[in-house]
Structure 1
Amino acid sequence: MLGTFSSLLNYPASAVAEKNGMTFVEPAGGAPNMFTRGFKHLFFAQPATAPHQADVFVDYLKALPEAERPKTAAYPTQDDPFATPVIESMQKQARGARGEDRLHLDLPGRHHELPDHRQPAR
């Protein structure tokens, strides 16, 4: 079976395929929970799992001269098992490149701090 383009859809479809001993190829759907079930017939054809989707972009940021690196970042996201690990990975890696433990969103005439949800509130 050839899967669809979403972890939300591939998760149940791959379970049906696995239960019936069918090979299931998913061309997209890199949520980490796709790969923790011990399936033997699930094959992933996407370039990288969700936590590594942002690696190329973060490597680009880290390669910029320090003066040209962004000083602030905003991470719009949605409650999605694929999007969340991508954003969390990008936050962790980019924070290391910026040396900050808080995220900021710059708006014209305003400066809003967005606390990292994994850090204690200050």
Structure 2
Amino acid sequence: MTAQLVRTWVCVCSYQALLPERGVAALVEGQQVAVFRTFDGMLHALGNQDPFSGAFVLSRGIVGSRGDAPTVASPLFKQAFDLRTGRCLSDPDVAVPVHDVRCRDGLVEVRLRVPDSS
């Protein structure tokens, strides 16, 4: 029998402190996470590391959209990532991790997703 890894919700900031169309970086269980609030009030959490440069900068990216997909563009090489799936729009073979995020009692909380081991 293998033990299941149970991830916990970690408070990163108040909802009001997270400005629309801006990101913040948070350290969650030792991992850098970029948290975004889009103009419509939705929350998204991705790994903060840009897979093309290796730099931890996605939280400083430009938030926008392509079609119906909310996106963040890396501030370094400008690749856009879908905030819902983490997939790079210009190179679908590249993606950043997506994490669970919620607003509870006015606080933004993030829970790391357990990697798929299949």
Q: TM-score category by the smaller chain?
A: under 0.3
**TM-score scaled by length of structure 2:** 0.26
Larger strand proportion of the pair: 2
Larger helix proportion of the pair: 1
**TM-score scaled by length of structure 1:** 0.25
